[in-house]
Amino acid sequence: MAKDQSRAPAARRTSPEKMIEILDLFDEEHPSWTPEQMMEKLQCPRSTLYRYLRVLTNSGLVTSLPDAGYSPGPRIVELDFMMRCGDPMISNGRPLLQALLKEIAGIGLLCRYFKDRVLCVHQETSASDIHSSYERGRAMPIGVGATSRIILANLKLAQLRQLYAAQPRAFSRLGGDKGFAQLQEGLREIRKQGYCQSQGEVTPGVVGIAAPVFDSEGTIIGSLSAVVTESGCSERRRRLITDRVVFSARVLSNAMRQAR
């Protein structure tokens, strides 16, 4: 009898991939894990888990404390410093944000698209009375706020379909609850105008204005945005801020092309 070949065997994960899975366990809700919790979550034998944890601990990527379990290690902080020194988006974007905030009282953000979320990689501020939920290093949902939405509007169609299939409810504000075609239409309009505005979606009481940042090959990698208070943000002031944000994002995208 011929074997049933309708099911392809699942690809076996390599040891590095399994160690990345351990690192992916850590998030805002679960900053630390016990070995028992890891074994249950990953369905991993104790001997295998401890072998991987030994490698990660020796490299400083995770650390363990008595009665506290495992948490991200000091090497993460060192890598963060290296990123701030070596990432051309940060090195070129930092002075642009500083110049922008000399004209505008608010918070300036550089954010990167990462997997299914948006991550703030740099923040500047010129207003102590404004707080942004987009803190450096904090991953945010990709379906909410101007900072994320302008990235969505410039994703390739295959990427957008994949995100929508995984979490359709996350796109309800963009018409995603009415189907993928409706979502596409709303994002197409944002892409055509070249910027996005939101009000109180991520942080109450503030207005977010964002423009796209592209890499040397013209692929969307993130956004540059300004966050200001709703009070006193007239239509004329919004247009002024929008012009400054769009200009700064274009300069940054040009710098990314030259960095190549």
Q: How does pLDDT run across 184-199, given as a tens digit for each residue?
A: 888 999 999 999 998 8
Q: How does pLDDT run across 16-34, given as a tens digit for each residue?
A: 889 999 999 998 889 999 9
d(CA 186, CA 174): 6
CB burial of residue 3 (10 Å; 0-12, 13-18, 19+): exposed
- What residue ranges of the chain have pLDDT lower than 70? 1-11, 175-177, 259-260
> Residue 181 has what pLDDT?
86
Other Cβ atoms within 10 Å of 203 Cβ, number = 17
Q: Please state, in angstroms and as integers, the Cα–Cα distance from residue 168 to each residue in 142, 164, 174, 178, 189, following that order.
A: 11, 5, 10, 10, 20
> Residue 9 has what pLDDT?
42
Other Cβ atoms within 10 Å of 252 Cβ, number = 24
CB burial of residue 136 (10 Å; 0-12, 13-18, 19+): middle
Q: Tell me, rounded to whole angstroms, the distance of Cα 107 from its chain centroid.
A: 17
List the domains of the chain with CATH numbers: 15-77 (1.10.10.10), 87-259 (3.30.450.40)
The pTM of this model reads 0.84
